Structure 1
Amino acid sequence: MLQKLIYYCQIKSIERICLSFIVIALKNFKITPLQTNLFKKLNFIYPWRSYQEKFLTNFSTHISDDHFHVIAPPGSGKTVLGLEIVKRIGKKTLVLTPTLTIRNQWEDRLQHFFTTDKNFKSVSFDIKSLYEITFSTYQSLHSFYKTFENKEDYFNYFKTNGIETIVLDEAHHLKNAWWKCLYDLKQSSSHTIVALTATPPYDSDRSEITKYFQLCGEIDDEIATPDLVKEQNLCPHQDYVYLSKPSDIEINYIVNFRKEIAAFIDELKTDETFKLFLQDHRFYKDPSRCIDELYGNPEFFSAIIIFLKSTGEIIPFEKIQILGFENEKDVEIPPLTNDWVELLLQNILDDRLNLLDYEAYLLTIEKRLKKLNILDNNKVNFIGNNRIYKSLFSSPSKLKSIVKIIDHEFQHLGNQLQSVILTDYIRNEFLNTPKNIIKSINKLGVVPIFQNLRVSIENKHMLAVLSGSLVIIHANLLAEFYLYENEDDYTIKPLECDAEYVIISGKSSSKSHLVAAITNLFEKGKIKILVGTKSLLGEGWDAPAINTLILASFVGSFVTSNQMRGRAIRSQINNPSKTGNIWHLACIDPTIKDGGRDLEILKRRFDAFLGISNTEENYISNGFERLALPKNITLENVDSININTLEIASKREDISKKWNAAIFTGNKLGREIKLYFQGKKPYPKQKKIYFNDAVKYTFVELTITLSFFLPEFLLKNLHLLISKGVLYFVYTTLAFLGLNFGQKAYKAIKLYLQYGIIHKDIEKMANAIMDTLYELHHFTTEKSTIKIITDLLHQGDVTCSIQGANQIESTLFINALNEMLQPIENPRYVIVKDVWYRKKLDIQNYFPVPQLFGDKKERCEIFLKNWSDHMGKSNVFYTRHLEGRKMLVKARLFHISGAIKEVTKKSIIWK
């Protein structure tokens, strides 16, 4: 019996030792033997929307790499989905937000949507006291980070307290200082990173975008705006642009500025000293002696040649031949434009250390540029200095636009109007402006907008101001205000210029309550027009009653604009017919055909806005083109454009119809690239040229083939000629030619007639890129489910889209194709399709290898193989060697006139 007991104890000891080893091993792999979900008691108490269910179904596959990066528009329930993700991960979590308001929303959503008693205790707002789930801000984390002299202590603090999941809300804020403390924390240990954003910061510079994706990981999933409209989480909505004309003073300033630049360029062209200076420049005088330097900056060399040619100088071919051109016709020297003169002068000033003999003369040019306001901070700018830009961005003409928009919307909505106007600055200096001089206010801001509306609208009680430091309401609303607020918490002061309005100031403890109180009055319809700052109301502020939003902001990024826009597109409970009108303001530059700088920046911001088209073709897309505004905007057509815009905006019922129709034409967001038609003539005329080129192309191909085929065919089939007769031989020959070349010629003529050469090339390029992405394992989706579609639009533009690929795959594909279609800059590898008749037909022969494939020689060779399979035999050149640099310069000079044009446009389309 004793021996059995000893044996039993030995066995149990062995089991305990084995169990200890297992526990140690599991700990090393960061797995606990019986790990439990910390948040199993939390359960979402409402049914999920269909798009949310789909999103959560895909979650488990995306989280496998400990990253989950999501694009979710305002109104998609991003916070609730974030909490569900936290619950499913089940680990101790730190949630970070950009503001206290958004931080508090997370805790509010947790208690109201995931518990039945609103009493989940394991919550903290203090980063110095971490609970199962801690809500804090990026500012708090950054401040906490700076308190540690030894950063290891900072890392160990979170490790010791068991933080394993970090949620980054509104992750687009993470680009600079806030990024550093988070990235260091991420690198210190294995954390699960969940990043949520409405708009990735694509408009930031390359280094900031790189940092952003290093922290957040690649985009895993995206909730589409059409899905949200379909589920009635977002209301049908439309963007409109209201144009304004600069004042006479602004117009005169701009026109005079343009005239002075034109006169300066004319003087420069007739300045023999400047001409001799360029002729004596080392690049032009003896290019063979500075070949490496010239290859490093071919644009400077091009600008010298273009300028000299514009003065009547005959450019010897040997000056250009050094670049490797065999025929003078291979190079098209474009006409001189302001862009080329700007580039020329900028390079001359940057090259001054090599031009010491001309320093006195260059000093006179520099003084002249400064006098004309062309030179600022050593940068030559012919488009317009900061004074012009700021004048248009904040033009007082936009104050009149706002009054007209509000008047128009009130005429059509009446008491249903719920409008918010967001701008950048408060401008307190105009607070007590007398009525008779309000129209002379020359700055854009909260107070100027309020003052202009105050003297323009009839129902003055509708108007209010809400900003961080200034709150104004109509005195008649005070009784309603005090129904919800304590009088002792606020001070009331009548507005000096109009006693019907009062300024409300809250004590420090009641400031957040003041924002909530004014928002409540707006939501109840007591306030109809609310003027505020984007810093307070542009992100995180929730007021679903808004049906008219005017964005009078000119400071900020794509991200900020999209956040502001999101205030107006939320659906409203008990108002299923709500539609949202979003108004954008632009002051045109009458000296520029496309409207000028203010409109140009607005166009770029539209890349972040997904919406319905205003065209006959009904579709959902991002980008400015969907608004169908004229390409050339002048002082003469501004009024007619605005009248048409107001008429469209008044038909709100059409917005809902268009959304409902367009939503069911697709089921997924797809990425598309558009190559703009670059013909020198209108497309219908150019199409005839395409046809002629097609015939030439086919004829050349047949001629080349027959020159090799016919002699050999005659020799091999001579016995047929003798035995069967001449007629039989002719029939046989024609039949053979018809079978081998007739069908090919027919297809070529038909293809070129219908699409032109570029359409065919883009389809081939796209397939070469896709095959390479598969071979390099960037694509994992089943190839049979992916489809590449190229289309020719009626104006001659060509589009290419990919269907069936996931978010990351489609982004990689479109980015690679876009790189290939852009003018060549400085790629590591260049592909050359050196076919002589392509040059004759004005077809591009030089293409940059996309950066994704050009980082290593082996990857480039894989791409070249696939390229050759689709595009025909080609050569690749490494541009970091002398011969490759020579080829690169030649490629950059090939049709160099297109180097400063917008060539392509990337879009997101619902298909």
Structure 2
Amino acid sequence: MLSITIANLNFLFSWRPYQAKVLENFSTHINDNHFHIVAPPGSGKTILGIEIIKRVGKKTLILAPTLTIRNQWEDRLQNFFTTDCNFKQISFDIKQPSDITFSTYQALHSFYKSFETKEGYYNFFKKHQIEVLLLDEAHHLKNAWWKCLYDLKEQHIQTVVALTATPPYDSEISEIQKYFKLCGEIDDEIVVPDLVKEHNLCPHQDLVFLSKPEDQEINFITDFRLRVAQFVTDILNDKEFISFLKQHRFYAKTEENLEELYRFSDFFSSLLIFLHEAKETIPIEKLEVLGFDKKEKIEFPSITNEWVQVLFQHLLVTDRDYLLEHEVYLNTLEKRLRKLTVFSKNKVNLVGNELLYKSLSNSPSKLKSITTIVQQEQQNLQDDLRCVILSDYIRKEYLNCSLPEIKEIKKLGVVPIFHHVRTTTKNKSTLAVLTGSLVIIHSSNIAKIGLIDAIDNYNYTPLKSDTEYVILTSKNSSKHTIVEAITQLFELGHIKVLIGTKSLLGEGWDAPSINSLILASVVGSFVTSNQMRGRAIRVDSKNPNKVGLIWHLACIDTSDELGGRDFEILARRFNAFLGISNDEKAVISNGIERLHLPTSFIDKDIQQQNKKTLELSKNRDLIAQRWTNAICKGKGVIKELTFYNEKNEQFPKQKKLYYQDIVKYIVGEIIIGLSFFIPEFIIKNFNVLLQKGVVYFLLALSSALGLTFGYKIYKSVQLYVYFGLIHKKIDKMAAAILESLHDLDHLTTPLDEIQIKTELLAEGNVSCTIHGANRYESTLFIKALDELLQPIDNPKYLLIKTNWLRKKLKLNNFFPVPEIFSARKKECQIFQSHWNKHIGKSKLVYTRTMNGRKLLLKARLFHIHNVNNELTKKNVVWK
């Protein structure tokens, strides 16, 4: 039979509704020679990609991040677009391309480097008339890989097709810009709720299983915190150290070192805060350089480990060369910090985040969590269980551990997990390991491999620590075939619990039957976590009622009220994907808040939460029903920024005025007060009215009102002028940002099609959502608003609100100009003009000058007088 050409490829099945919708708009999107699609795992991106190649109809180079994903492309092409797998114009060798060439990013980069000149590289593709690049999992394209592709696009390639589940929004802005320069703006997007609605992804839920550090870890953490606390206490009372600080040129000769002082404003702030905490009186001239005057009340922040860390980092590292005359004393300080294990590789770390994180993220307590989850899921699903456990490392050194040694394993990894599960499960024959360099199966499954592939293709070596298991290797050294064989055993149910590495199974590996995924990985990036999670949410044609559970592990630092660094990394991971909330009235959103985990972490809370989690896992039907209910409530996803007030406990009374509608609050309070005060005043002073007349009586009433209500009204008006109506103010800020984005050509959607909605929520929180914009535009908008509302860090430009009343009340509102408007002064001025139009007069300050750094330092040090000291949270919500 004759082979077919690209133009004759024909999809053999029916398009899913959302795929058909994407293809309907193809001709419009391809006008700029870019087609950029965002779609989650399981949405059929590969099939869409092949159809797009067919429609373009030119020689194409398809690039993927791994060989597994590369091979899937050829498999999908032959099985979904040909009747007899007879498309022959393909190649897997980039040096010998065909009509469609499948390769990897690594192979292309190596090929690029093999040319002596770039012109030779470009001419190769021109000679072979390859005019289309298809970039699969395009979020991988950064730096070196990006360079060889972008140069090729600029010199020769006509069309770029980019497919990804997760644009790298959490990367540096320069990397994001590179990504979009190569891939083009996002043309279309398929979202998880749409896919669940169309039954192309299964209902699913993320579950967090908490563990408490083992005694040794608790002792390590507690001892660390106590030693650091004692050090801070001691150093605050150390007269020699205080004297040393006061001799520092920034303090002793402030006026002479202004330029350098403003360059290291963090250090100068830490120095002043430390001395203030040590009960030293700070001379006003030291504060005048920051812009404070003698009449201004200055409230210093309390000293924290972070501030002390900044102080010592500068003294022992940054400023060391300028303090040579104090080298003997600095050596003494350094030894003290090294003894505390808080100074290493020229870095002071009094907070202990990374040190404690390494301890908690690989805590052996997670091994117990995994065995508990596996046992629960075995009860929940029994013969239907298809559980995958993903970890970062193999840990082959533990392969032949005896039973007593297994209990002493202190590291997380594939082999430690395997040992813990095999020694606690009753279903040993259904347990297996699949990694790139280690495959373990139960001996009873050897014969079953013969049903899938020739047994002679494999070698079997009994596992020394448990001879019921064998180490499986392929005689032809093909990892591809052994992965396929184990995958088939898993799909058929001979293997029910499969332990592997995220590098092999986390991206591109396809096993639709997975209904329970345990993420024993400490990776926290947006991209990787979303890819791993995607393994469990695919539909399974053999199990139409599948509900997937994704289990996340966190070891709680009980000495930290927020749960510690491991929990913080987990929370960050949850920002990467949409999911269902645990409310009775379920909502689909991103973020860990939807799970309603404890706000504090003590032993009792951890145990109760885990009990609730295990109970929830039993009722998969309830999870499916919540998805159905939530999907019916919305039409699409929108970006939302939530502005919180409850996490900052300073000035609770002012907060009440700040967040509740201040006008209503003031008027209501005064009316209630007057309704009691005036009648009582008239009754008590009626004789004054009769004896001295109306004028005298009104003067007395005015004086009494002034004495009783005057200060309250004054403070309320001051707060109103200072803070304003916050939800309305955020609405005005949002308008200024949106119009600036439009004027600077960052928007492709017409301005009149985009709406901003700001709402005052319960407990004084404020939400701002953007409707009608595409995902890229929404991301730019939310990021800019978030920067505007976050505590001031080190912006290039500041806006200072100015008017006559503020000057009289000595009020200073500082706002950072968002980064997207800060590249050039002209762009800042465009933003400022929209700010002035919506919010009021302002002064634009460039912070890289002497005066600018002075104001920046004042804004940061004087942060409790700054409106944007609150915390914000970026969300994606189905509405």
Does TM, scored on the shorter chain, surpass 0.5?
yes
1:650 and 2:618 are equivalent in the alignment? yes
Structure 1 length normalisation: TM-score? 0.86
**1:894 matched to 2:862:** yes
1:92 paired to 2:59: yes
Partner letter of residue 412 of structure 1?
A: N
**1:48 equivalenced with 2:11 (yes/no):** no
* CA deviation vs aligned residue, 1:110-138 (integer Å, no higher than 9, x gap): 12222233212222111111212111111
Give the unaligned 5+ runs of structure 2.
Answer: 671-693, 695-712
Match of 2:372 among 394, 401, 404: 404
What are the Cα deviations for residues 23-47 of structure 1, in whole angstroms up to 9, with x where unaligned? xxxxxxxxxxxxxx97321222222
Q: AA paired with 1:590? A: T
Alignment partner of 1:370 is 2:333: no
* SS of equivalent to 2:407: helix
Change over 3 Å in CA distance of 1:357–1:412 after alignment to 2: same
Q: Secondary structure at the match of 1:40?
A: helix
Please say which of residues 300-309 and 122-131 is displaced more in the overlay: 122-131
Distance 1:451 1:683, change over 3 A: farther
Alignment correspondent of 2:50: 83
Cα shift at 1:696: 11
C-alpha distance in structure 1 between counterparts of 2:853 and 2:803, whole Å: 20
Aligned to 2:41: 74
Cα separation, partners in 2 of 1:262 and 1:881, compared to 1, 3 Å: closer
1:478-493 correspondence to structure 2 within 5 Å? 478-493=446-461
1:20-59 matches, cutoff 5 A: 39-59=6-26
1:850 — aligned with what?
818
Who is 1:677 aligned against?
645
Q: Which amino acid in structure 1 is aligned with residue 21 of structure 2?
A: K
Cα offset, 1:898, TM superposition: 8.3
Deviation (angstroms), 1:366: 1.1
Contact kept in structure 2, 1:164 and 1:192, CA below 8 Å: yes
1:381 to 332, 345, 349: 349
- The partner residue of 1:346 within 309, 313, 321 is 313
**2:758 alignment partner, SS class:** strand
Q: 1:323 aligns with which of 277, 290, 303?
A: 290
1:576 maps to which residue?
A: 544
1:357 equivalent to 2:325? Answer yes
Deviation string, structure 1 residues 691-716 (Cα, Å, up to 9, x no partner): 899359989xx9xxxxxxxxxxxxxx
Alpha-carbon distance, 1:102 to partner: 1.0
603, 606, 611: which one aligns with 2:571: 603
Deviation at 1:294, TM superposition (A): 1.8
For residues 825 and 294 of structure 2, the distance between their equivalents in structure 1, rounded to whole angstroms, comes to 31
Task: Please tell me whether the aligned partners of residues 310 and 335 of structure 1 are also in contact (alpha carbons under 8 angstroms).
Answer: yes
- Aligned to 2:236, what secondary structure does the other structure show? helix
Deviation of the 1:220 alpha carbon: 3.1
Do structure 1's residue 589 and structure 2's residue 557 form an aligned pair? yes
1:560 paired residue among 512, 528, 540:
528
Please show how residues 141-152 of structure 1 align to structure 2 within 5 Å: 141-152=108-119
Letter of the 2:117 counterpart: N
SS at match of 2:634: coil
**2: CA distance, partners of 1:242 / 1:840:** 55
Please tell me whether residue 825 in structure 1 is matched to residue 825 in structure 2.
Answer: no
Question: Does structure 2 conserve the Cα–Cα contact (< 8 Å) formed by 1:168 and 1:193?
Answer: yes
In 2: Cα distance, 1:298 partner to 1:617 partner: 48
Identify the residue that residue 431 of structure 1 maps to in structure 2.
Answer: 399
Match of 2:189 in 1: 222
Which amino acid in the other structure matches residue 257 of structure 1?
A: F
Could you tell which deviates more after superposition, 248-257 or 610-619? 610-619
User: Which stretch of structure 1 is more off in the superposition, 670-679 or 150-159?
Assistant: 670-679
Which is higher, the Rg of structure 1 or of structure 2?
A: 1
Amino acid corresponding to residue 140 of structure 2 in structure 1: H
The alpha-carbon distance between structure 1 residues 882 and 565, as it changes in their structure 2 partners (threshold 3 A), is same
- Indicate the SS of the match to 2:633: coil
With 370-379 and 809-818 compared, the bigger mean Cα shift is at: 809-818
Could you tell me how far 1:374 is from its partner in structure 2? Answer: 0.4
1:789 aligns with 2:757: yes
**Cα offset for 1:329?**
3.8
The 1:836–1:271 alpha-carbon spacing in structure 2 relative to 1, beyond 3 Å, is farther
Residue 278 of structure 2: aligned partner: 311
Aligned to 1:178: 145
SS in 1 for 2:815: strand
The Cα shift of 1:339 comes to 0.9
Q: 1:759 aligned to 2:727?
A: yes
Displacement after TM superposition at 1:192 (Å)? 1.8
Q: Secondary structure at the match of 1:166?
A: strand
* Aligned partners of 1:767 and 1:870 also within 8 Å: yes
Distance verdict in 2 for CA 1:293–1:39, change over 3 Å: same
Pair 1:866 & 2:834 matched: yes
Structure 1 residue 812: Cα displacement:
1.9
The offset of 1:241, in angstroms, is: 1.0
Is the contact made by 2:458 and 2:474 (CA closer than 8 Å) also made in structure 1?
A: yes
The one-character-per-residue Cα deviations of 1:504-538 (angstroms, maximum 9, x if unpaired) are: 22113453222111111111111111111112111
Shift of 1:842: 11
Aligned CA distance change for structure 1 residues 853 and 556 (closer, same or farther; 3 Å): closer
Alignment partners' CA distance in 2, 1:206 and 1:365: 38
Summarize the Cα distance change of 1:656–1:390 in structure 2 as closer, same or farther, 3 Å threshold.
same
After TM superposition, give the deviation of residue 555 of structure 1 in Å: 4.1
Q: CA deviation at 1:385?
A: 6.7
Q: 1:636 to 1:364 in 2, by over 3 A?
A: farther
After superposition, the C-alpha distances for 1:337-380 in whole angstroms (9 at most, x for unaligned) are: 11111111112221112222212111111111111110111111
Give the stretch that moved more between structures: 321-330 or 559-568.
321-330
Q: Which amino acid aligns with 2:389?
A: I
Change (3 A) 1:872 1:617: farther
Q: Are 2:594 and 1:622 aligned? A: no
State the one-letter code of the partner of 1:791: E
Q: TM-score, normalised by structure 2?
A: 0.89
**Conserved 8 A contact 2:803-2:841:** no
The CA RMSD measured in Å over matched residues stands at 3.0
Q: Could you tell me which amino acid in structure 1 is paired with residue 764 of structure 2?
A: G
Q: Is the 8 A contact 2:863 2:869 kept in 1?
A: no
CA-to-partner distance for each residue in 1:204-258, whole Å, 9 max, x for gaps?
Answer: 4455444433333333332101111111111001111111111111111111111
Amino acid at match of 1:532: G
Counterpart residue type for residue 365 of structure 2: S
Identity of matched residues, %: 58
C-alpha distance in 2 between matches for 1:175 and 1:788:
33
Residue type of the alignment partner of 1:522: F
Q: CA deviation at 1:656?
A: 0.7
Contact kept? 1:317, 1:328, Cα under 8 Å = no
C-alpha deviation, 1:387, in angstroms: 4.7
Given the alignment of the two structures, is residue 267 of structure 1 paired with residue 234 of structure 2, yes or no? yes
In the alignment, the residues of structure 2 paired with residue 842 and residue 540 of structure 1 have an alpha-carbon distance, to the nearest angstrom, of 60
Paired residues for 1:275-290 under 5 Å: 275-290=242-257
**1:191 lines up with 2:147 in the alignment:** no
Deviations 1:745-795 (A, max 9, x none): 9xx99x989x97322211110011122223333334344432211123323
String of CA shifts for 1:86-129, please: whole Å, max 9, x gaps. 12222221100111111111111112222233212222111111
Question: Which residue is equivalent to 2:70?
Answer: 103
Give the SS at the match of 1:655.
Answer: helix
Residue 837 of structure 1 deviates from its aligned partner by: 6.0
> Could you say if the C-alpha distance between residues 201 and 125 of structure 1 is closer, same or farther in structure 2, counting changes exceeding 3 Å?
same
Q: 1:769 to 1:205 in 2, by over 3 A?
A: closer
Q: Choose the corresponding residue for 1:878, options 846, 871, 877.
A: 846
SS at match of 1:670: strand
Task: Check if 1:161 corresponds to 2:128.
Answer: yes
Q: 1:367 to 1:810 in 2, by over 3 A?
A: same
* Cα distance in 2 for residues equivalent to 1:900 and 1:393: 33
Range moving further from structure 2, 678-687 or 609-618 = 678-687
Amino acid at match of 2:824: K
> SS at the partner of 2:603?
coil
| C-alpha contact (below 8 Å) 1:426/1:446 kept by paired residues | yes
Q: Which moved more, 1:899-908 or 1:412-421?
A: 899-908
The question of whether the paired residues in 2 share the 8 Å contact of 1:334 and 1:897 is answered with no
Q: What is the alpha-carbon distance in structure 2 between the residues aligned to residue 109 and residue 842 of structure 1?
A: 68
- Residue 781 of structure 1 aligns to a residue in which SS? coil
- SS of alignment partner, residue 444 of structure 1: coil
User: Can you list the C-alpha shifts for 1:464-489, whole angstroms capped at 9, x where unaligned?
Assistant: 11112222222222222212221221
Q: Which aligned pairs between 1:437-586 and structure 2 lie closer than 5 A?
A: 437-555=405-523, 557-586=525-554
SS in 2 for 1:241: strand
Count matched residues: 830
Q: Secondary structure at the match of 2:83?
A: coil
